[in-house]
Amino acid sequence: MQFNISASRSQTVTQQITQIIYVSHSIHPLAHKCDMDILTASTLRNSTYDITGCLLRASNDYYQIIEGSHAAVTAVFRMIERDRRHDNVLSWVQTRQQARRFPGWSMRGAHLTQKAQKRMRAVFEEGDVEFGARMDAIAFHAERAEVMQIRRR
Domains and CATH numbers, the chain: 17-150 (3.30.70.100)
Splitting the chain (153 residues) into consecutive groups of 10 residues, what average pLDDT does each group show? 39 72 87 85 89 86 90 94 90 85 80 76 64 65 51 36
Q: What is the pLDDT of residue 135?
A: 64
One-character DSSP codes across 39-70: HHHHHHHHHHHT-EEEEEE-SSEEEEEEEE-H
| Single-letter amino acid code for the residue at 59 | S
The pLDDT assigned to 148 comes to 47
Q: pTM, whole model, 2 decimals?
A: 0.72
State residue 6's pLDDT score: 40
